A and B are shown apart, each in its own frame.
Chain A
Amino acid sequence: MNQNKIGAFISERRKAKGWTQNQLAEKLGITDKAISKWETGRSMPDLALFIPLCGLLEITLNELFAGECIPDENIKEKADEVLMEVITNWLGNDKGKLKADEVTQKNVLEVQNISKIYETEGNSVLAVNDVSFQVAQGRFVGIMGASGSGKTTLLNLIATIDKPTNGIIRIGGQNIVDIAEEDTANFRREHLGFVFQEYNLLETLTIYENIALALTVKETPKESIGQIIQNISEKLDISAVLDKFPYEVSGGQRQRCACARAIAVKPDIILADEPTGALDSHSAKQLLSVFVMLCKEYNATILMVTHDVMAASYCDRILFMQDGEIKATLNREQKNKQTFFADILKRMEWIEGESHDVFEIVNS
């Protein structure tokens, strides 16, 4: 569906009726600003307005989505085409393809029997309990779970921000549990990239400089920094805002800048903690598409913590956490996003059901 084409078509039909934007807005009971946004392709009419709008402009729904008048002889063929396009837009046409070389891909992250106990005034809390999993290179893995399930603690342990009580974590073959405190910064610089819910960009630096800073910290040759930023910003669609400060751009752009900063230094793995938490659904989808693109085109490995099912449906594999343990895993395999989304919901329901059963047994 071409939003601009639809907008131009609405404008053309409105003018043919001899109405101003204001008059059409009055008839639909909305503001003229909304009409202006439709006509310039900045937004689409709400679902509830499709039929009244078509009625007023004397066009069919097919014609509205096609953005043109359809002659009677082409109506069937064109209607099917429009319907297919609408469905594709709604559900997406991606198929989760198993990477050909997935079997041979080495593991970037290996977590073995990790536990984390917090000791507080005589109390000990088991935040992560005997967790083991692997993430192969180029995979996009999600960790899902309710608040307090231990997913952020697990991410912090992998991020070298915290030390596990037991177990081994290997990133790029190196056991990070053994790394001395003073060497962790060096390890983070060389092997890890971060994307946070709150963006965490330096407000005194422009978007360009924020990305450049990560590169200078990694001691990337100064001559190649400009080119790296140019390439990555084009891929992430932030070229136009490179010279702006973080507070001058939208949340989605800020988060894509954080992604650019993370990927620019080519880390072994990108750790994302609720990256879509502060974004609207459109920006969240854009960001998640960026993650998928980074995995496909840059062979980036991403480990994302989320409680959002929509965000998780973009992953290749989901680890479901509850009470500090991995209760289940779900692989996308060749399923499309919609089927995977439904599977995640079912699995969550199953996990919740199981915990309810446990409660019932305990209570009885």
Chain B
Amino acid sequence: MYLKLSIRNAKRSFTDYLLYVVTMTVLLAIMEISNCIAIMGESADFQTISLPLLITIIQAILVGYIDDFILRQRAKEFANYLLLGMNKKKLTNLFLCEILLIGLLCFLIGTTIGFFVYGLSCLNAILHEIKLYAFLYGKSILYTFFCFCLVEIIGAFSLKKRLEKLQIRELMYEKNRNQGMKKKENYKKWGIAFVFSFVCMIGFVCGIVFLPEDHIVYVVSFVIIPLLVSIYTFYKWIFSYLYTYRKTKSVNLYQKNRLYVMASLTSNFKTTAIINVVFCVCFLFSVSSFFAGMLMLQPEIQLFDTDLQQWMGTAQICICIVFAIIYFSILSLQQIIELRQDSKNNQILRWIGKSDRQIVILVNRIIAIRLTFPMTMALIIFLFCIPLLNVKMNSILPITMHNIIWGFAGEFCLCTLFIYLCYFLVVSTMSKQYIKSIK
């Protein structure tokens, strides 16, 4: 009976699982592509294994977040199973099996799509022999499966721990739970940590620009540490600050839509901060890959063999697109699903006197903020780093190519704006239709 109940409820929770399925499939497809690139790079004596590793880390964090999201949506149902007399261990196992089965399905679809896309892009360029093709397929699937297992194990372990901790009463209210902060001053500590790490990061970038060539290698190797720390501390600081500001009940908050927007941003501010860090990293990699790819595609720059450089440049642009897709697709899907989960909120807003048009404007504002927020820190970093990197590139490149970095930055901004507007329009239109359909 429990199994039947569970399957029926899983079907009903299709919208909750949609985020999981899409995220898993997209990331596994990307992982498969990156594994193919890594294997091919390996054969050409390039070290590109860091890319699938990075995607694994991103996937592990995102899967953790989505598992938590699904758990919250279904917590009341689980509490009912336990009240009916189901053993908690059995319930946990059932839920984990459900997640794993869906994960396996995503793995099959994701890897097939990934390999197909990679095969299409490289069919004429490198893979001439069917034997090599089979070898690449086998090896990349094996690598992807290994990463997938790692992600699933981490996700299952944290989910199991969380389910074991939650009592029936807590499960009943889990969906409505909001995150809080014990000490109001915590945001100051995060602020100090952010300023310190950001200054360190700028220092490292200055080192890359101004230090002699033989010292640069050390600075380049370690710049990633202050970079990641500054992103992490920035989001922890900004969300802790917003939460604390909300708690002070400042009068400035009680006008227009500020209170509602602030509440929607800070109700789960700890998780939101982590998710913003992940998406910020995605965006940052997208920008970096764009710059690297564009530089390699310049015929005036000759670092490697022309064909190889062309291939590497294209690969970097592909990575840029991949991270941009991860960023915008998953964030957009998250907005659509959350809007459906919170449909009751719109009904309440209607009762207290908001018209459909006003609700649509409010929802659009929240969508715009949520799509923009993760890229904010990446943009701040680039605002500081691009002038410095431009100086460096000007010292290396011929005079005809001076200020090329600014040109790339402009192109990237335009592309991002275009993609942003496309995704925003899609999410906004879907939200508008949904709001009008639910009355």
Contacts and interface: CB of A to CB of B under 8 A. Distances in A.
A151 interface: no
Contacts of B354: 185, 189, 217
Nearest to A267: B353
Contact of A185 (B176, B178, B353): B353
A217 B352 contact: yes
Contact of A186 (B175, B255, B257, B353): B353
A188 B352 contact: yes
Interface string B1-32: 00000000000000000000000000000000
Given A202-B345, A215-B254, A222-B252, A188 B176 contact: no
Contacts of B131: none
Given A218-B353, A246-B176, A226 B263 contact: no
Interface stretch (A204-212, A289-297, A342-350): A204-212
A203 B260 contact: no
Contacts of B264: 204
A200 interface: yes
A245 interface: yes
B263 A214 contact: no
B44 interface: no
A352 to B, nearest CB: 34
A223 B251 contact: yes
Given A185-B358, A212-B259, A223-B251, A204 B353 contact: no
B350 A202 contact: no
A219 B260 CA distance: 14
A182 B251 contact: no
Contacts of B173: 247
A212 B247 CA distance: 13
A261 interface: yes
Given A202-B345, A205-B263, A209-B263, A225 B254 contact: yes
B162 interface: no
A205 B259 contact: yes
A80 interface: no
A245 B263 CA distance: 12
Contacts of B249: 208, 226
A1 interface: no
A190 interface: yes
B356 A185 contact: yes
Interface in B121-137: none
B348 interface: yes
A254 to B, nearest CB: 11
A242 B159 CA distance: 33
A203 B176 contact: yes
A261 B352 contact: yes
Contact of B352 (A189, A219, A245): A189
Interface in B249-303: 249, 251-252, 254-260, 263-264, 267
Interface string B223-254: 00000000000000000000000010101101
Interface string B345-365: 101111111111110000000
A20 interface: no
B431 to A, nearest CB: 17
B39 to A, nearest CB: 46
A200 B348 contact: yes
Contacts of A247: 173, 176-177
A200 B350 CA distance: 11
Contacts of A320: none
A31 interface: no
A215 B175 CA distance: 26
A245 B344 CA distance: 16
Interface residues of B, number: 33
A194 B351 contact: yes
Contacts of B348: 200-202
A222 B255 contact: yes
Nearest to A220: B254
Contacts of A189: 352-354
B178 A245 contact: yes
A64 to B, nearest CB: 36
Contacts of B178: 203-204, 245
Contact of A213 (B259, B344, B357): B259
A281 interface: no
A180 B349 CA distance: 19
Interface string B167-208: 000000101111000000000000000000000000000000
A294 B422 CA distance: 51
Nearest to A208: B249
A144 to B, nearest CB: 23
Contacts of A214: 352-353
B228 to A, nearest CB: 30
A112 to B, nearest CB: 25
A158 B7 CA distance: 43
B375 to A, nearest CB: 24
B353 A217 contact: yes
A202 B345 CA distance: 6
Contacts of A93: none
Interface string A176-205: 000000101110111010100000111111
Contacts of A208: 249
A43 B189 CA distance: 47
Interface string A213-249: 1111111001101100000000000000001011100
Nearest to A188: B353
A223 to B, nearest CB: 6
Contacts of A217: 349, 352-354
Q: Which of A186, A204, A226 has the largest count of B CB atoms less than 10 A from its CB?
A: A204
B351 A212 contact: no
Residue with the greatest number of chain A CB neighbours at <10 A, chosen from B173, B251, B344, B348: B348
A320 B423 CA distance: 54
Interface in B294-353: 344-345, 347-353
A265 B354 CA distance: 14
Of the candidates A205, A219, A246, the one having the most CB atoms from chain B within 10 angstroms of its own CB is A205
Interface string B40-79: 0000000000000000000000000000000000000000
A213 B353 contact: no
Nearest to A159: B351
Given A185-B354, A209-B263, A213-B260, 14 more contacts: A182-B357, A186-B355, A189-B353, A194-B352, A200-B347, A201-B348, A202-B260, A203-B175, A204-B264, A215-B254, A216-B257, A216-B258, A219-B255, A225-B251
6 pairs of A and B residues whose beta carbons are closest in the complex: A189-B353, A185-B355, A204-B267, A203-B176, A247-B176, A222-B251
Interface of A: 182, 184-186, 188-190, 192, 194, 200-205, 208-209, 212-219, 222-223, 225-226, 243, 245-247, 261, 265
19 contacts: A182-B355, A182-B357, A185-B353, A185-B354, A185-B355, A186-B355, A204-B267, A204-B345, A205-B259, A205-B263, A209-B259, A212-B254, A213-B260, A214-B352, A216-B255, A217-B352, A217-B353, A247-B173, A247-B176
